[in-house]
Amino acid sequence: METSRMTEFLCFLQKDLAIPATDLQLALRHPEQTLNSLPMILWQYGLITLRQLEQIFDWL
């Protein structure tokens, strides 16, 4: 994903879903992390709810 799209996505996660920056940083450090897998990593770590996961997929 291009940088501007990535920035928009991270802003969406922080502003609209209120995911703390520290949680995002943790998920972004995951060794298998790609932008496509970021929502699942956040969910697997328990950092977002299933409802938030649905909202993320809708945004994507």
What's the domain range around 39?
3-59
Three-state DSSP string of 8-20? HHHHHHHHHCCCC
What is this structure's pTM?
0.81
Per-residue pLDDT for 29 more than 70?
Answer: yes
Q: How confident is the model at residue 33 (pLDDT cuts 50, 70, 90)?
A: low
Number of domains in the chain: 1
Per-residue pLDDT for 30 more than 80?
Answer: no
